[in-house]
A and B are shown apart, each in its own frame.
Chain A
Amino acid sequence: MLRHIAGRLLNLIPMLLGITVVSFVIIQLSPGDFLAEMRLNPIVSQATVDQMRANFGLDQPLHIQYLRWLWNAARLEFGYSFAFQVPVTWLIGSRFLNSLLLGVISFTVAWLVAIPIGIYTARRQYTWVDNTVSLWAYVGISTPTFFSGLFLLYLAFKTGWFPIGGLTSIDYEFLPWWGKLLDKAHHLILPGVVLSILGVAGLMRQMRASLLEVLRQDYVRTARSKGLAERVVVNRHAVRNAINPLITIFGFGLGGLWGGAAILETVMGYPGIGKLLLDATIQKDLYVVMAALVIGSVTLVIGNLIADVMLVVSDPRIRYD
């Protein structure tokens, strides 16, 4: 087992190289660069724009730029953002925890809600409960986050029960420690609801489908005919088998926790990392995008690794060596 884990982690290195080379080339080859906006500014002369290009190292040949970046990245120095002129690590760090917080909360809520509902609707297939829940699941999957976000903001405005976006209130600094916790929790409700609904809808359908397939198996019929209670049959035997595909999904979800939902963050003014990275990608703020890709790849691989380990624990049929 440990050898397998070590092998997977070592695999990260060539994978990262591949991802970064491809991304670097694609970003650089696409039209324009970070200075596009500057070029359309009548006050800034051509000479100044060229100077800036030299400052950012964008006038060097591609492979030199890449190797220079790689050499620094290996020492965990991810360079400076073109837009902000601050270290990329500071920039990402300033919002990383916010996204992680929102991600973890929505993730947890989504899973805690989706699994029981999925099991419940599988057991009562085609009843009115099942059909209603399925309908709402489809609605949940289809609603774009910006719409639900705006809708909830409007609700917040009308009722006054929730804050209109953001993560903290204006007087956050002056609150006692427990006040700060409550304030953040209050602000997390709406964005959390939007993301959770999205998560619940999909997961619940997946759980239901998976469990239905298991419940059709012969060994389930055997268990029932042995006289076991339905509850035991489902919860102790069927679910454990049905949960396999979901563990894989769990791993992917873990990897994406920190990434943030850019559109939701824009709409609700949540100070997360999604919007930052989206803007960086659009503006071609090269080093921010590269750092984000590295972090994203690493977390994805680790998330999948955790899922695979959990699979080994959960399913005795799965062994890697």
Chain B
Amino acid sequence: MGRVFARLLMMVLAASVSVTPAATAQPKFTLQDVPNPMVVEAADVGRFGGTFVTASISDPRTFNVLVAQETSSTAPLANLFEGLVETNRSTTEVEPSLAESWTVSRDGRTWQFKLRKGVTWFDGKPLTADDVVFTLDAAFTEGVQSSLKDVLTIAGKRIGYRKIDAQTVEFKTEEPFGPFLRTIGFSIVPKHKLESALKAGAAEFNRTWGVNTNPREIIGNGPFMMHTYTPGQRILFVRNSKYWRVDKRGQRLPYLARQVIEIVPNQDAQRLKFMARETDSYGARPREFAELRAQQQAGNFTIFDGPPTFSTEFLVLNQNPAGVRAPKLTWFQNLRFRQAISHAIDRESIARQVYAGRATPQFSPVSPANKFFYNANTKKYNYDVATAERLLREAGFAKGTDGFLRDSAGNVVEFVISTNAENNDRVAIGNLVRQDLTKLGMRVTFAPEAFNTLVGKLTGSFQWEAIIIGLTGGLEPHTGQNVWKSAGSLHMWWPKQEKAATEWEAEIDRLYDQAATTIDQNKRKQLYNRWQEIIAEQVPMVFFTTVLTQPAFRNTLANFSPAPLAFFDVETIYYRTPYR
């Protein structure tokens, strides 16, 4: 009996493995209301005060963080709302935020998060597990326009969640979910403020906390509270005096007294305001780098040879039988044809002419900005017209006496490349690509069109031949599964396949499924490395370049530094001199 009991006890103990980040034995500092505040590492201990002014290209569309999709809304709301975990801007590791610790079971399917005690909302009510549960209830409610439900639905099944006690929440997944920690950092909303809206129905909830709400009603627990919003002009934030993070000396953050987001719809006007010292940060365009670098002294700012973006841009050929017919279908489905095109594109020229040299050739679907998952050892396609022509000959293509390329059946290789006309960079790239492909003897027409038309073709009718388009990326490759899995609706070259059309697409499906259910991040990296190798080898998408960013900051600011995700944390940035 005792032995059975002992064995049971061993099983129970073995089933839970504590994975607590950093030492939690004794909190380094204590605040009167928060026994274990989060300590934020920063270079300096800053001075308090000041107003940080930045510019945004457009107005926020909503103040409801669950419904917000675009940066103009999520960026201001990031000042007010926090999640269970967050990503460190320098190390890109997942760190505790509203949760102070968590455990995961040995089988990787059950997670328990312990909330930080003493955290209160702006109106003084405490944060509890009820708020976490409510946020998920709202996200999963039918009709609520939250993309969170898609992120937290794994292989068709919703993530399981329940409250254990006031400070503990438990999550359960059917299979161990590799990207779990990166997807559980969503913003938590207060139940006591939004409960009645959710009860009134999904349509009503979508409209709650819209931009017509009094900003002081938007209750969060982040470093800043929204004070006023003047449509078309600015948003004003004031410091949250009950914030639950401290600096390395135990002082309550944030340092800044106020923040202002000016709404400046024109990039040139933003630059003028930055030069006139009305704003203190500016995301310069690639062409402006050299010029602004020369003006650093005069304008009292520093411009950084910043990290690359997470986005990718590429040419994709339609391999969908429902979209193109022979002979074009045969060409696009031919591996050597695609590889030849990749060799024939002069990426250096694109980097020079479109991005003033502030771009590097790209061959993998993952941007080098994603330091952890980027695979630098994929197949490269150097600019080599001779190799391109050889590959085409091997595939049965031949250049006629009139200079045009013909396939083995004698058809002239001609097709149309489109892109969205509103994006000047893509239009410039398209023109360069057309010229490059004409050297091979292909008759290529470049026809930019309206964004709506393009999307209709890509996702609806599939009646397109070649498109130049881009994708934003992130830290977690799994979020792109709609693009890379053969059944995905955004699997651009042949969406929604019932069964994988080729062996390599089937392999990618397997890799993605396996990576989703593997907890060990290094094992996942191996799987995604293989995926990148396959894509680079098979080139369903011909990638062009990765573009560099060049952020500029006023020298009176301190506690900012180059980092992959962001250059500063809003709670530790401060002004060296009394300013504004």
Contacts and interface: CB of A to CB of B under 8 A. Distances in A.
A48 B452 contact: no
B269 A267 contact: yes
Interface residues of A, number: 55
A165 B268 CA distance: 11
Contacts of A157: 272, 275-276
Interface string A253-284: 00000000000011111111001100000001
Interface string B188-214: 000000000000001100110011100
B151 A31 contact: no
B453 A31 contact: yes
Contacts of A284: 452
B206 A38 contact: no
Given A36-B451, A36-B456, A42 B479 contact: yes
Interface in B15-62: 51, 53, 61-62
Interface string B450-475: 11110110110000000001010000
Contacts of A44: 69, 147, 150
Interface in B310-324: none
Chain B CB within 10 Å — which of A30, A40, A91, A167 has the most?
A: A40
A220 to B, nearest CB: 50
B41 to A, nearest CB: 30
Contact of B265 (A32, A55, A153, A269): A269
A84 B212 CA distance: 9
Nearest to A35: B455
Contacts of A268: 266, 269
B397 to A, nearest CB: 32
B87 interface: no
B212 A43 contact: no
Interface in A14-42: 30-33, 36-42
A51 B143 contact: yes
A238 B455 CA distance: 59
Chain B CB within 10 Å — which of A95, A164, A265 has the most?
A: A164
A217 interface: no
A284 B455 CA distance: 14
Contacts of A72: none
B251 interface: no
B234 interface: yes
B490 interface: yes
Chain B CB within 10 Å — which of A43, A91, A160 has the most?
A: A43
B266 A266 contact: yes
Interface of A: 30-33, 36-48, 51-52, 55, 80, 83-87, 90-91, 94-95, 98, 150, 153-154, 156-157, 160, 164-168, 170, 173, 265-272, 275-276, 284
Interface of B: 51, 53, 61-62, 64, 67, 69, 142-143, 145, 147, 149-151, 153, 202-203, 206-207, 210-212, 228, 230-234, 236, 260, 262-266, 268-269, 272-273, 275-276, 278, 450-453, 455-456, 458-459, 469, 471, 479-483, 488-490
Given A150-B268, A153-B268, A166-B233, 13 more contacts: A36-B455, A40-B455, A42-B482, A42-B488, A42-B490, A44-B147, A45-B489, A84-B210, A153-B269, A160-B276, A168-B230, A173-B228, A271-B263
14 contacts: A40-B458, A44-B150, A46-B489, A47-B150, A48-B150, A83-B61, A90-B212, A91-B212, A98-B232, A164-B276, A268-B266, A271-B263, A272-B232, A276-B232
